[in-house]
């Protein structure tokens, strides 16, 4: 018995065609930004091919080390980091990259590169060993220092509201790329028969409410009392608990269906665990452009002034009404 994929609807635009059209309609966003997104999409296809060929099973078995954020780092994390850096270095638009897998700013050869890309090359690496979803997170900033000079750390340490675009790639039963600008959030699904990402969800809007919350309940007893109270309230209201171990996967569910994601501080990590520059800013930008909210418990994530590249924060993101209710508990 054979199973054939459904026919692709006519006039379904590819990521390349859609971004080209969007660049013409919204000239305030330079075309170079869309070219960077396209480059990231091509690099993600290379990473997916590596994993599907079984190469991942070999590199995943390698010795585990630790990255600059103190998290366990498998060789596949490094493979993903190198793949995205090499792809972005091939463009003339990107002057530097900051990555969860690199201690410092990665300066590229192009001193005329006007943009900085922030990367979490592989979110949820541990999920690969059990065939569960994982992802890539990225965001794009315009540099502050003059063109022609070496890129500087100050170019990367910008508040989240200065992002020009942000996005993520979800590798699961289908591979999806979601990106957002101030003109909206759009989702594309990879179609292997044409080797391209095709538009599937234009102009996504975050539902104001949702049926579920996502949190690592194993740390419940370490959470602040207000967070414990909110989770207990959510259970009493009949909300389902959905936690995958991959931030991208949990966020994507809530973006489409509504819900809230929580990563509170714990006794072991009082400053939180998720990285402001590589994970939180990008998803907060997407959430707010789609009508959702993101907070560290005291203020909007996009307003936080970064102090270091690998700064961690508590993180709460999702449907606007649900985040507001959580902040009411915390107040």
Active site residues: 71, 77, 100-101, 120, 122-123, 279
What's the rounded Cα separation, in Å, for the pair 214 and 318?
A: 10
Whether the CB-CB separation of 108 and 116 falls below 8 Å is answered with no
Long-range CB contacts for residues 56-61, cutoff 8 Å, separation at least 24: 56/128, 60/128, 60/129
Phi-psi map region of 61: left, alpha, beta (phi>0 left; psi -120 to 50 alpha): alpha
Beta strands in the chain (DSSP E): 65-66, 72-73, 94-99, 106-107, 115-123, 134-142, 165-171, 175-181, 184-191, 196-201, 212-214, 240-241, 260-263, 274-275, 293-295, 312-313, 315-318
The phi and psi torsions of 70 (rounded to 5 degrees) equal: 85, 5
Whether the CB-CB separation of 44 and 248 falls below 8 Å is answered with no
What angle is formed at CA 103 by the lines to CA 100 and CA 105, rounded to 5 degrees?
A: 90
Query: What is the DSSP-derived secondary structure letter of residue 143?
Result: -
Q: How many CA atoms lie within 13 A of 242 on its CB side?
A: 20
């Amino acid at each position: 018995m054979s199973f054939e994929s459904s026919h692709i609807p006519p006039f379904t635009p590819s990521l390349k065609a859609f971004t080209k059209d969007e660049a013409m309609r919204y000239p305030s966003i330079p075309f170079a930004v869309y070219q960077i997104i396209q480059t990231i999409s091509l690099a993600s296809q290379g990473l997916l091919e590596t994993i599907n060929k079984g190469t991942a099973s070999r590199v995943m078995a390698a010795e585990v080390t630790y990255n600059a954020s103190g998290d366990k780092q498998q060789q596949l994390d490094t493979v993903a980091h190198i793949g995205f850096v090499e792809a972005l270095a091939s463009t003339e638009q990107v002057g530097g990259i900051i990555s969860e897998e690199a201690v410092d700013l990665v300066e590229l050869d192009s001193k005329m590169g006007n943009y900085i890309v922030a990367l979490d090359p592989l979110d949820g690496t541990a999920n690969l060993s059990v065939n569960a979803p994982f992802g890539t997170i990225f965001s794009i900033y315009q540099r502050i220092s003059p063109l022609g000079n070496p890129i500087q750390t100050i170019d990367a340490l910008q508040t989240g509201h200065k992002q020009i675009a942000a996005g993520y790639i979800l590798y699961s039963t289908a591979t999806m790329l979601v990106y957002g600008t101030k003109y909206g959030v759009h989702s594309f699904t990879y179609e292997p028969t044409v080797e391209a990402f095709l538009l599937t969800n234009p102009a996504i809007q975050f539902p104001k409410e949702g049926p579920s919350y996502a949190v690592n309940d194993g740390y419940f007893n370490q959470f602040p009392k207000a967070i414990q109270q909110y989770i207990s309230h959510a259970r009493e209201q009949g909300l389902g608990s959905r936690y995958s171990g991959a931030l991208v996967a949990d966020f994507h569910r809530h973006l489409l269906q509504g819900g809230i994601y929580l990563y509170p501080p714990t006794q072991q990590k009082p400053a939180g665990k998720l990285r402001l520059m590589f994970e939180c800013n990008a998803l907060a930008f997407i959430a707010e452009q789609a009508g959702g909210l993101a907070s560290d418990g005291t203020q909007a994530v996009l307003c936080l002034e970064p102090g270091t590249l690998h700064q961690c924060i508590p993180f709460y993101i999702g449907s606007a009404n649900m985040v507001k209710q959580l902040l009411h508990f915390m107040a």
